[in-house]
Amino acid sequence: MTEPASTAGENACGHCGTKFRPKRRWQRFCSRACRFADWNDRNPRQRAVTEQLQRIEAKIDALSSETVLKKEAECR
């Protein structure tokens, strides 16, 4: 059986198995989240570090939007 033409050039994500069209030839995952998740699966000892990093990133996002709001208030 031959593959339908529409799936030519498509990859199955190495983590969730979703079919996607890679932007790079070596791209193995459909998204950043899957790349992180797969990496965590293979590096359980690093998992806590990655999770902490993601929490810190979220906090920075929250803080920077707070700062923007404060600056907007000062301008008034």
Span 17-76, contacts to Zn ion by CB under 5 A: 18, 30, 34
| Distances in whole angstroms, Cα of residue 56 to Cα of each of 52, 62, 66, 68 | 6, 10, 15, 18
Q: CA-CA-CA-CA torsion for 42, 43, 48, 54, nearest 10 degrees? A: -70
Residues in the chain: 76
State the minimum distance, in angstroms, from the CB of residue 9 to Zn ion: 17
**Residue 16 or 22: which CB sits closer to Zn ion?**
16
Binding status of residue 12 toward Zn ion by CB under 5 A: no
Among 16, 39, 47, 50, binds Zn ion (CB under 5 A): 16
The contact set with Zn ion (CB under 5 A) reads: 13, 15-16, 18, 30, 34
